[in-house]
Chains A and B, each alone.
Chain A
Amino acid sequence: MSGFGSFIASPWGSVLAIAAMTLVTFLCRIAGVVVMSRVRITPRIERGLRALPGSIILATILPVVIDNGWPAMIALAAAIIAMAVTRVDIVGLVAGLGTLAVIRALG
Chain B
Amino acid sequence: MTLMPPALRPHFSAQGLRHGARAALPAFPGFIMFALAFGTAAAQKGLSLGETLGLSAFVYAGASQMVGLEIWQQVWTPATILTIMTVTAVVNARMILLGATLQPWLKDEPLARTALNLFLITEAGWLIGTRYHTQGGRDVGVLLGCGLILWLVWLVATFAGFFAGALVPEPQRFGLDLVMPIFFGVMLVPLWKGARPALPWLVAGLVSLIVHALVPGYLFIIAGALAGVVVGMLIE
Contact = CB atoms under 8 A, between A and B. Distances in A.
Interface of A: 4-5, 8-9, 13-37, 41, 44-45, 47-66, 68, 72, 75-76, 79-80, 83-84, 87, 89-90, 92-93, 96-101, 104-105
Interface in B39-59: 47-48, 51, 54-55, 58-59
Given A52-B228, A58-B202, A64-B181, 12 more contacts: A9-B75, A13-B75, A17-B73, A21-B68, A41-B104, A45-B233, A49-B100, A52-B225, A54-B204, A79-B186, A80-B185, A83-B186
Chain B CB count within 10 A is highest, among A24, A66, A100, for A24
B197 interface: yes
Contact of A93 (B26, B203, B208): B26
Contacts, number: 290
Interface of B: 25-26, 29, 47-48, 51, 54-55, 58-61, 64, 68, 72-73, 75-78, 80-81, 84-85, 88-89, 92-104, 106-107, 114-115, 118-119, 121, 123, 127, 130, 172-176, 178-179, 181-192, 197-198, 200-205, 207-209, 212, 220-225, 227-233, 235
B84 A20 contact: yes
Nearest to B51: A14
Contacts of B184: 57, 60-61
A32 B225 contact: no
A69 to B, nearest CB: 11
A15 B88 CA distance: 15
B76 A35 contact: no
B224 A59 contact: yes
Given A47-B233, A97-B176, A58 B77 contact: no
B185 A56 contact: no
Contacts of B29: 93, 97
Contact of B223 (A14, A27, A59): A59
A44 to B, nearest CB: 5
B191 to A, nearest CB: 5
Contact of A55 (B26, B80, B89, B201): B201
A24 B61 CA distance: 11
5 contacts: A8-B77, A29-B98, A33-B99, A33-B103, A36-B99
